[in-house]
Amino acid sequence: MGNVTLDDKTFRPYIPYSRIDEAIAKVAGKLNEDYRDCGEVPVLLCVLNGAMVFFTDLITRLDFNMEVVSVKLTSYVGTQSAGTVRKSMDFTGNVKGRKVLVVEDIVDTGNTIAEISRLLKEAGAKETRICTMLFKPAVFKGSVPPDYVGLSIPNDFVVGFGLDYNELGRNLKDIYVVDSQ
């Protein structure tokens, strides 16, 4: 696990997959407890593109029936949050009257999950919960905190395991942090 260069930046190892794997197992265990006997089939909403790796790893560990829906939102330009969230692709399925579990790669300011929650409410979702692989509590200013968190991290820019820098690095199995040097 050495440094990687993506576009014009170098990233150093930060979180090995073994630690990611443990965090996903814990989140999956909690989700199995909460949803196994919930009385209906929930919708798991994958927020593309970043959450697809976490989402795929997570759902293979769940032992309850679910439907899978996706949505695509964009909020980053380079290493900075753009401050605004725009929808690039609508929900791929119906969420009206359904319990929805939003699966995100990372929650930092909370702007994206607030927008997703608003969109789900408009679409008639009965209940919305948020599950994220990574959470940055130091910069969270949102009104919708995540219900399930894999790992909390400082406000560092990270790539790998679905997270990108200018669309590069999503395929890295481990998570890397931008090297300040």
Residue 102: strand pairing partners: 45, 130
Active site residue 108: yes
Distances (CA, A) of 112 to 88, 119, 143: 13, 11, 11
Distances (CA, A) of 10 to 13, 37, 76: 10, 46, 18
Calpha distance 81→67 (Å, rounded): 30
Among 108, 147, 164, 179, the active-site one is: 108
The encoded tokens of residue 74 equal 């964009």
| Residues involved in catalysis | 108
